[in-house]
Structures are given as structure tokens and as C-alpha cells.
Structure 1
């Protein structure tokens, strides 16, 4: 038996756009099912929203998303609640998504893709603890950490 944890993101009418964006960054297969696909009458508001969506890439990347049902104000990501101060991360967010690669060349295109219309919290580059590290809030308000695994030795 094997287990894996997959981030499941909640949106308010932007799930399809976010999933298509993540597919453009990470590649892979996009699967989207709408509320109408699951039987909601097509004329009802929200019928075209995503009830189940995911991107699965051959490189191991996987994310799921859906649109929370019901009436909501239009989703407009605000100022990220995460910032870097004096080498530390200050946040009120309950989680970040982390993408870690084996080398800088592997993760640089991911950084560049996610950085489109994003708020950069920490610029991507060498860090004391890793060959490369960067943090940003993408245009959907999701905070990402992109880094390269450092080689650690056990004492």
C-alpha cells in the first residue's frame, strides 16, 4: 500500500482557470468535471463551476481543486498575508504549497511560470539552506515555495 498527500484547493468560480494555469506551468493531464456534469441543471448559476478537477503530471506534480458551491463575492486575491522579515517568514496562512526539485535547472521554469502576475515574497535564488529558494503568492492567492533539495549529512 502507498499513500500520498495531494493539495486540494478551494476556489469561488476560478478553479478551472487556476487548474489550466497550473497545467501550463507543470504540464500533465487536466481533468475537470462540472456541477452540470454531476446532474445540476445547466441553467442554474454555478452549473459550469468545477466540482472535481485535478492536474496530474508525469514529473510527480499533482493538485486538485474545486469551486465551493453557493453565492460568493467575486474572488479577488488580496495582499498576501505572508512576508519575509530579517530572514524569517511571517504569516497567518495555514499552509504553503512546496515544489522541490533536485537541481536549479529543474525548478527554474516552475518559478518562472508561477511568477506570472504573482506577488514575489522572496526572490528566487541561492539561500543559506538550499542551492535555490523562492516564495510567491500566485495570481489566485496561493502561496508557493519553490526550492532545490539541499544535501544534508547525518551527524
Structure 2
């Protein structure tokens, strides 16, 4: 048996825009399935909002998202989740960081850190906080 984990982000009406932005930043394929596609608009959901969506990049990054329907309580919280993106190419990490920072807030500029030669933190325009770094091998 094989198991994978995928970051699944919840939004209120902006899931499609967020997924489109992530596709633009990371590349890859965007898939979107709306509440209308799922025949679930009778529950008060907005027909053209996302009941399931995903971006999968050629490099292997996958992120999923959906729009929480209006009848369900939703609170994005504060720093409840960080999405971590690790790679082995500083130029690629820099490109992702800059794309996510467009319209967002840089919380920690890309720079060397004690655990990585290149690390930064950014909250994108949709309120999602991303930590990006160049991975290094740990001995221990």
C-alpha cells in the first residue's frame, strides 16, 4: 500500500482564484469541479464555487482546495497551517517565493537560515502562509 498527503486548503468563495494563482506560480494542471458539477446546489452552496479542485505541478507539488459552503461555519484562523515547499534548486524556490509574494506579504525574506541555505516565509494574497526552503541532507 502507498499513501500520499496533499495540502487541502479551505476558502470562502476564492478557491478557484487561489488554485489558478498556484497553477501560475508552480505550473502544472488545474482541475476544478464545482458544486453545480456535483449537483449539490440544493444545499445552499454557490453553483460556480469549487467543491473540489487541485493543482499538480510537473515537479510533484500538489495542492487541493474547496469553497466552504455558506451554511457551514468557516474561520480561516491565524497561522493554523503553513504549506511547506522544499526543493533542491535555490532559483526554483526563489521563483515560487516571488510568485506567491505577488499581492501577498513577505513575512521572512529569502535568506540563509540555521537549517537551510535558503529559507523564506510569505502569506499570499489569499491568506495562506507558505514556507519555502532549499532542503539539505541531515546526518544524525
* Richer in helix (by share): 2
- Taking structure 1 as the reference length, the TM-score comes to 0.80
Match of 2:103 in 1: 117
In structure 1, the partner of 2:67 is 67
The alignment covers a number of residue pairs equal to: 138
Deviations 1:18-50 (Å, cap 9, x if unpaired)? 0000000011110001111111459x7611100
Where structure 2 has 5 or more consecutive residues not aligned to the other structure, the ranges are none
Structure 2 SS opposite 1:140: coil
- Aligned position for 2:88: 102
Which consecutive unaligned segments of at least 5 residues does structure 1 have?
Answer: 82-92
Give structure 1 regions of 4+ aligned residues with deviation exceeding 6 angstroms.
Answer: none
Superposed CA RMSD: 2.3
CA distance in 2, matches of 1:133, 1:102: 12
Partner of 2:120: 134
2:33 aligns to what? 33
Structure number, greater radius of gyration: 1
TM-score normalized by structure 2? 0.89
Distance 2:71 2:35 in 1: 14
Report SS of the residue matched to 1:112. helix
